[in-house]
């Protein structure tokens, strides 16, 4: 943790400042310590160079973050590979309608304080930090933030934080730009999570989000059916099931068959066409 972050973070419980107790440092990074709220006295640990603000211990929240932690523990290396990072960047540009990375970087030049709400293993934080005059706060509730910090923690203008995007350690109307890609639909309530995020956006600020589209009824039914069962599985069981679904998808894609729907089926959300 960079000591300069104390200028910007506040207690997520009462919005007061912190007192820092340092246990160990490495060069300019605080590796171990404690943040103590000067008002309500709540304490938050700093471990492995990262301040930890996650306090939600409800079953669904813990289960979700454990799943993502397991995912990135097994797959962080290949997702830090250059080809994946480039693919992810191009996907981002297309999805958010930027004509080029140059155009997006020009936009970033006017953004002083940036929140990467759900950074995962940090690739998005690195992309958002191209303007060295800006400060990027990259957070994730899962242990993926440890891999993000290990990869990009030396970047001078990125602060990595483990926190819940529904309980942020910042003052309201602080950020010039908030970025949250494929995250909000994994929270307890997508709508209220989005509204909560906007409270931390400056009046003239910008926010970019991406959430899963609501699909046709049959697909939504299948998703719900699968989800009700996979949430009860262990990480290993869920991984093996995912592999089976991938093999099924690969086999179906090789069929190269087309069907023609002569007219719309509104009840099922199916459009006419081939």
Strand-pair category, 29-37 with 50-51: unpaired
pLDDT above 90: residue 55: no
Report yes or no: 72 and 122 within 8 Å, Cβ to Cβ: no
pLDDT of the residue at 220: 85
User: Which band of pLDDT confidence, cut at 50, 70 and 90, is reported for residue 17?
Assistant: very high
Q: Measure the CA–CA gap between 169 and 86, rounded to whole angstroms.
A: 31
* Angle value at C-alpha 110, between 207 and 123, nearest 5 degrees: 60
Q: Which residue in the block uniquely carries the two structure tokens 């813990």?
A: 62
Residue 136, phi then psi, degrees to nearest 5 = -105, 130
Helix (H) or strand (E) holding 26: strand 18-26
Residues 38-64: what's their mean pLDDT? Answer: 84
Predicted confidence (pLDDT) per residue in 202-257, tens digit: 999 999 999 888 888 888 888 889 988 888 888 888 889 999 999 999 998 888 88
Question: How high does pLDDT run on average in the chain?
Answer: 90
Q: Does domain 53-210 have CATH number 3.40.50.150?
A: yes
Q: Measure the CA–CA gap between 46 and 2, rounded to whole angstroms.
A: 11
Angle, in degrees to the nearest 10, between helices 59-79 and 235-253? 60
- Please tell me the number of Cα atoms within 13 Å of 2 on its side-chain side: 18
pLDDT above 80: residue 61: no
Helices (H) and strands (E) in the chain, counts: 8, 9
Give residue limits of the domains in the chain.
1-49, 53-210, 217-268
pLDDT of the residue at 57: 61
pLDDT of the residue at 218: 84
Residues 6+ apart with CB under 8 A from 100: 93
* Angle value at C-alpha 142, between 190 and 163, nearest 5 degrees: 70
pLDDT above 70: residue 114: yes
User: Which band of pLDDT confidence, cut at 50, 70 and 90, is reported for residue 78?
Assistant: confident
Torsion sign across C-alpha atoms 227, 59, 148, 75: negative
Residue 115, phi then psi, degrees to nearest 5 = -110, 125
Predicted confidence (pLDDT) per residue in 163-201, tens digit: 999 999 999 999 999 999 989 988 889 999 999 999 999
116 bridge partner residues: 138, 179
Predicted confidence (pLDDT) per residue in 86-98, tens digit: 999 999 999 899 9
Q: Measure the CA–CA gap between 244 and 269, rounded to whole angstroms.
A: 27
Neighbours of 274 (CB within 10 A): 6
- Hey, which bits of 104-211 come out as E strands? 113-117, 135-140, 158-162, 175-181, 201-210
3 state DSSP class of 207: strand
Predicted confidence (pLDDT) per residue in 32-49, tens digit: 999 999 999 999 999 999
Helix (H) or strand (E) holding 37: strand 29-37
Give the tokens for residue 157: 């203008």
3 state DSSP class of 75: helix
Q: Measure the CA–CA gap between 272 and 274, rounded to whole angstroms.
A: 7
């Amino acid at each position: 943790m960079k000591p300069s972050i104390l200028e910007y973070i506040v207690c997520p419980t009462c919005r007061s400042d912190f007192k820092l107790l340092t246990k160990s440092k490495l060069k300019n990074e605080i590796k171990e310590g404690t943040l103590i709220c000067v008002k309500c006295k709540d304490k938050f640990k700093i471990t492995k160079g990262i301040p930890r603000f996650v306090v939600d211990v409800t079953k669904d929240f813990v289960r979700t973050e454990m799943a993502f932690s397991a995912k990135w523990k097994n797959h962080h290396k290949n997702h830090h590979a250059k080809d994946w990072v480039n693919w992810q960047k191009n996907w981002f540009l297309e999805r958010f309608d930027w004509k080029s990375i140059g155009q997006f970087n020009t936009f970033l030049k006017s953004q002083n304080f940036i929140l990467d709400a759900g950074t995962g293993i940090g690739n998005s934080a690195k992309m958002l930090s191209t303007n060295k005059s800006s400060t990027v706060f990259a957070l994730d509730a899962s242990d993926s933030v440890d891999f993000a910090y290990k990869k990009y923690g030396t970047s001078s203008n990125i602060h990595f934080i483990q926190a819940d995007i529904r309980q942020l350690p910042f003052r309201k109307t602080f950020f010039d730009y908030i970025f949250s890609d494929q995250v909000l639909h994994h929270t307890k309530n997508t709508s209220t999570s989005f509204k909560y995020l906007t409270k931390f956006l400056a009046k003239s600020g910008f926010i970019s989000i991406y959430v899963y589209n609501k699909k046709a009824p049959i697909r939504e039914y299948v998703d719900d059916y699968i989800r009700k069962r996979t949430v009860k599985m262990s990480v290993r069981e869920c991984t093996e099931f995912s592999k089976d679904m991938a093999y099924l998808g690969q086999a179906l894609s090789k069929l190269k068959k087309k069907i023609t729907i002569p007219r719309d089926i509104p009840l099922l959300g199916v459009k006419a066409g081939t």
